Chain A
């Protein structure tokens, strides 16, 4: 009898091409997602070495980071460097035979939204992309992680990666989430608990009844931020919800292959007694709607708390907290729910899916965005945007005062014109509150879509439970 395996062990073993004596492995990659920012130098490397793409049919390309989100973007990208990157992706996709979801295609969107949407993402796969939020795809029970540009070139040329196996970490969330608490609050609470380096060297498997109860959209939100906890990847065992989500999508298996795939996918769960190097257990009932106060995603507190003081921390975090408070313009002891904001950003690969937009619509129903607040919604893909329009959500959001944009990464990282001005403060459904992330000297508070909606209505960080 073989030793019990974790889900990670199973996927790893199924993709091993070669293992050297020192444990250095060559791992096969089933799907490679490519975007315009981290790929130009990789394609240039291939050309210089006279190499081709080994498996173009396992590779897709989409421009997302640089694309403007204003409706007239089809008239051309004004920023010259952004335009060149997007054009170069088009040229590279064409020259190397890779399917491209171009700016004028309704299926265009954030790479981590369209992978699942198009059925490219399936259980048991290995998936990589030159983007740290590739962890998102782990929601399907796929081993998915970000890589650098040199590794992008390596995967293009060989369809493999040189890897050492990570450790196994289990994050178990049991019980029922209280009202107003969402997948985003789960994943942020975990990071608040473990720190941004808590998962370093590990692959996290999220399990427990609270995780199983989440929709696929919610599970993607949870896995998306595994990287913010330092983990290589996040994973959730696939179940009926997963299979239902994948079924019938354009690149999902069909007919007899679907039956074969399903049979295999049902084996993709951690065995009873499998070993984890680290285990974190959280009671879902203890999770509150949370916000970040600082400039690291580990700076997480319940909305009912107050801004901490540097002295509340130890080691290097004391100085880091002092720097964060200065950058964020906050005073220790101030109530988080008293912090006034200027901007609300709803979107990103963390929270740009249809369920997120439905949640925002539910909170703002019968209410308006507060005067003077810039509130933008950037759907994660053209198809999410279309679906929201068909469901009537888009009109409700527009009527409430939101700016309804085209799909892209947008203000999550501000590579396109959607940026914060210096000193501007934003309640954002994205994933990083780093200094300068959303714009030079911009101030980011990470929140769930429901909390972002509440902040848009009141003009300050707000406990969404007060509006429910």
Chain B
């Protein structure tokens, strides 16, 4: 996993609430056995018509946002299916940070496993950043994970909360499995206790 430290980039505004993972990456693209290459089909049914032509007014098709690295979104972003293909598709497109008033639980966790930073902010602050994002490619938003700050294009600074362990993993690009493997003795001891107390498990 790539580290996430600082990011300054174009933010695409997507004010829709309840954006679900079926929208982010429709089912027909879940048949892949790889993690890569899904960016071309990110938001596929909103982004292309049936013949595969771009729908001009979709935000990521607009010239200003074609190389967006941040998404500013509506409430409950990433709800629905647990498909990790959703963060894979965002990452493959180039999005490293999503800012929204709230996120669905599984999507939120999946982001951290892929070096994407999801940031939940109060609605009023998201509204300000949404307006900023609507200004287009010249309005670049900066995110500093170490300092836990977001700076809008006109210099307004917002602070955000993040779980310390998740922050540590992102900053250092750590693989959780490697970290858990260091606790293999604790896992073995738990299994021994459980087998003694609840042998049917």
Contact with B along A27-40 (1 / 0, CB 8 A): 01010000001101
B34 lies within 8 A of A41 (CB): yes
- CB neighbours (8 Å) of B87 from chain A are 148
- A150 close to B113 (CB less than 8 A): yes
Q: Choose the segment among A110-118, A258-266, A270-278, A380-388 that binds chain B (4+ C-beta atoms closer than 8 Å).
A: A258-266
Query: At the interface, yes or no: B102 with Cβ under 8 Å from chain A?
Result: yes
Contact A159 B187 (CB under 8 A): yes
B17 touches A317 (CB 8 A): yes
Q: Within the complex, which residue of B74, B104, B114, B180 is in contact with A316, where a contact is CB–CB below 8 Å?
A: B74
| Contact between B50 and A440, CB atoms less than 8 A apart | yes
Chain B positions within 8 Å of A82 at CB level: 31
Contact B81 A196 (CB under 8 A): no
- Once A26-B183, A260-B199, A316-B15 are accepted as A-B contacts, the answer to whether A437 and B76 lie under 8 Å apart by CB is no
Q: Which of A256-305 contact B (CB under 8 A)?
A: 257-258, 260-261, 264, 296, 298
Task: Let me know if A342 is at the binding interface, CB within 8 A.
Answer: no
- Closest CB of chain A to B133's CB: distance in Å? 15
* Contact residues in B for A145 (Cβ distance below 8 Å): 106
**Per-residue B-contact encoding for A64-87, CB less than 8 Å = 1, 0 else:** 011000000000000101101100
Bound Cα distance from A82 to B27, whole angstroms: 12
A410 → chain B, closest Cβ, in Å? 12
Please choose the segment from A15-23, A395-403, A445-453, A456-464 that sits at the chain B interface, where 4 or more of its residues have CB less than 8 A away: A15-23
User: For the complex, is A323 an interface residue (Cβ under 8 Å from B)?
Assistant: yes
Decide if A148 touches B113 in the complex (CB within 8 Å): yes
Q: Total interface residues on B, using CB and 8 Å?
A: 57
> A355 on the interface (CB 8 Å rule)?
no
CB proximity to A under 8 Å, residues B70-102: 74-76, 79-84, 87, 102
Closest to A317 in B: B17
Q: Tell me whether A146 and B163 are in contact (CB under 8 A).
A: no
Pick from A37, A54, A228, A253 the residue with the most CB of B within 10 Å.
Answer: A37
Given contacts A44-B33, A316-B75, A440-B45, whether A150 and B163 have CB atoms under 8 Å apart is no
In the complex, B147 has a CB within 8 A of chain A: no
* Least CB distance, A188 to chain B, in whole angstroms: 15
A201 interface neighbour in B16, B32, B105, B190, Cβ under 8 Å: B105
Hey, which chain B residues are within 8 Å of A132, CB to CB? 80-82, 106
Bound-complex Cα distance A18 to B193 (A): 14
User: Please, which residues of chain B bring their CB within 8 A of the CB of A435?
Assistant: 22-23, 45
* Min CB–CB distance B4 → chain A (angstroms): 15
9 pairs of A and B residues whose beta carbons are closest in the complex: A253-B200, A150-B113, A316-B17, A81-B31, A148-B84, A148-B110, A146-B82, A40-B33, A197-B76
Q: List 6 A-B contacts (CB under 8 A).
A: A28-B187, A150-B113, A196-B76, A230-B104, A434-B22, A440-B50
- Chain A residues packing against B (C-beta within 8 Å): 17-18, 20, 22, 24, 26, 28, 30, 37-38, 40-41, 44-45, 49, 51, 54, 65-66, 79, 81-82, 84-85, 88, 122, 125, 130-132, 145-151, 153-154, 157-160, 162, 164, 196-197, 200-201, 228, 230, 232, 253, 257-258, 260-261, 264, 296, 298, 315-317, 319-320, 323, 413-415, 422, 432, 434-437, 440
User: B: which residues have CB within 8 A of A?
Assistant: 15-18, 20, 22-23, 26-28, 30-35, 45, 50, 74-76, 79-84, 87, 102-106, 109-110, 113-114, 123, 163-165, 176-177, 179-181, 183-184, 186-187, 190-191, 194, 198-201
